[in-house]
Amino acid sequence: MEIRAALIERPGEAFHMETLELEGPKAGEVLVKIAACGVCHTDDVARRQIIPVPLPAVFGHEGCGTVLETGPGVKDFRAGDRVLFSFGYCGKCPNCRSGHPYACLENRRLNFSGAHFDGTRRLRFRGEPVSAFFGQGAFAEYAVVHTNNLIPAPEDLPLELLAPLGCGVQTGAGAVLNYLRPRAGSSILVTGCGAVGLCAVMAAAIAGCTEIIACDVVPARLELAKELGATHILNGKEVGDVPEAVRSLTGGFGADCAVDCTGVGSCVRASLVSTRPLGVCAVVGATQELTIHVENDLMGAARTLGGVVEGCCVPQLFIPQLLEYYRQGRFPFDRLIRYYPFGEINQAFADTGAGRVVKAVLTMD
């Protein structure tokens, strides 16, 4: 079938709308009419080839929509079902079978190779194969997606609201609730108050942290962090020494734990050394280079620096949990979202990069 999709052919170029050919679903896959797709920093770093993905490619990995057709062997979904997308995993490796699909041994192939679950491609442009990011390629009117990527969408909430849950929202919230698991009454530093960081702030409030320190350089985001549960805010441009500022807010010891969402090596180090001895720092941003003094910053203080992928979650279990927090008014992630028509995809990315919007979501209709 012919579909309209936002295509990238060269590293870093603007998205351009093209007509592509999409093959139907094969074993274990479904065809979905896309309703909306979130704009994520991971799409941008892959577009610029900081994370290499074969080009040409259709990016987009926070999609949601309605199932139109199912492939052979699909039993859990049928035409008409509402679904949202998350990352792909094999379901068979030791990590998947032990409840850690985010650490699937085939994670890179299934999410960054451009191919679908079976290693083939469903998209073509002018007769040539096109990569589908995360096995989705959800910056499009339609997508073929493996059932491992799918989460049933509840009927009581609009599809366009659900789109960001499959990556950015679950990453920030899961870094706190699934990885750090702070005890009630503890302190936490969240560095980088974009969508991921603000979800971490809300999760810290859910966990019962009594000192939630938010750090960013955009005043509007810091004010929003306060509204969403931060007890203290730090503007990185105005604070000369962030770790010292954190220590001054935590009795001189530092935070019990930290989440760094910036993707900037110097910020990761500052987040790490802002924690007290035995502190834990979770890194969720796509950070490339990091320089630390292992004795002073890590080992000597018995700190832990950990990489967090997709919030260390099983999306099919964690996303319904987050939605229940949302219904209770404890996780108002809808306050982060601004919607853009699909044709304004480049504006959505520009506004996100400039800090004018926290979470952009493209609507396809």
pLDDT reading at 240 higher than 90: no
Whole-number pLDDT of residue 64: 98
The string of pLDDT tens digits covering residues 71-104 is 999 999 999 999 999 999 999 999 999 999 999 9
User: Which CATH superfamily does the domain covering 172-309 fall into?
Assistant: NAD(P)-binding Rossmann-like Domain (3.40.50.720)
The string over 212-246, giving b where at least 16 C-beta atoms fall within 10 Å of a residue's C-beta and e elsewhere, is bbbbbbbeebbebbeebbbbbbbbbeeeeebbebb
Q: Quick one: pLDDT at residue 288?
A: 84
Give yes or no for residue 286 having a pLDDT over 90. Answer: no
Q: Which amino acid is at 350?
A: A
Mean pLDDT on 278-288: 93
Span 329-334, mean pLDDT?
A: 98
Residue 348 predicted with pLDDT over 90: yes
Question: Cα separation of 185 and 115, whole Å?
Answer: 45
Confidence of residue 365 (pLDDT cuts 50, 70, 90): confident
Average predicted confidence (pLDDT) for the chain: 97
Mean pLDDT of 34-38: 98
pTM of the model: 0.96
What is the rounded average pLDDT of the residues 29-50? 96
For the domain with range 2-166+332-363, which CATH number is right: 3.30.390.10, 3.90.180.10, 3.40.630.30, 1.20.1740.10?
3.90.180.10
Digit-coded pLDDT (tens) for 254-264:
999 999 999 89
Phi, psi of 311 (to 5 degrees): 70, 20
Give me the helices (H) in 251-344, please: 265-273, 315-327
pLDDT surpasses 90 at 12: yes
The pLDDT score that the predictor gives to residue 326 is 98
| The pLDDT of residue 165 | 97
**Would the pLDDT of 351 be above 90?**
yes
What number is the average pLDDT over the span 163-169? 96
The residue ranges of every structural domain in the chain are 2-166+332-363, 172-309
Which tens digit of pLDDT belongs to each residue from 116-129? Answer: 999 999 999 999 99
Rounded to an integer, the average pLDDT of 105-123 is: 97
Q: What is the mean pLDDT of residues 156-171?
A: 96
What number of other Cβ atoms are within 10 A of residue 183's Cβ? 11
Amino acid at 356: R
- Cα–chain center distance at 7: 21
Q: 140 near 362, Cβ under 8 Å?
A: no
In the predicted model, is pLDDT for residue 9 greater than 90?
Answer: yes
Residue 56 has pLDDT above 90, yes or no: yes
Side-chain half-sphere CA neighbours of 117 within 13 A:
20
At 128-162, the pLDDT tens digits run 999 999 999 999 999 999 999 999 999 999 999 99
pLDDT in tens, 210-229: 999 999 999 999 999 999 99
pLDDT of residue 114: 97
Average pLDDT in the 157-169 region? 96
Confidence of residue 287 (pLDDT cuts 50, 70, 90): confident
229 with 211: CB under 8 angstroms?
A: no
Q: What is the pLDDT of residues 59-68, one digit of tens each?
A: 999 999 999 9
Mean pLDDT, residues 153-180 taken together = 97
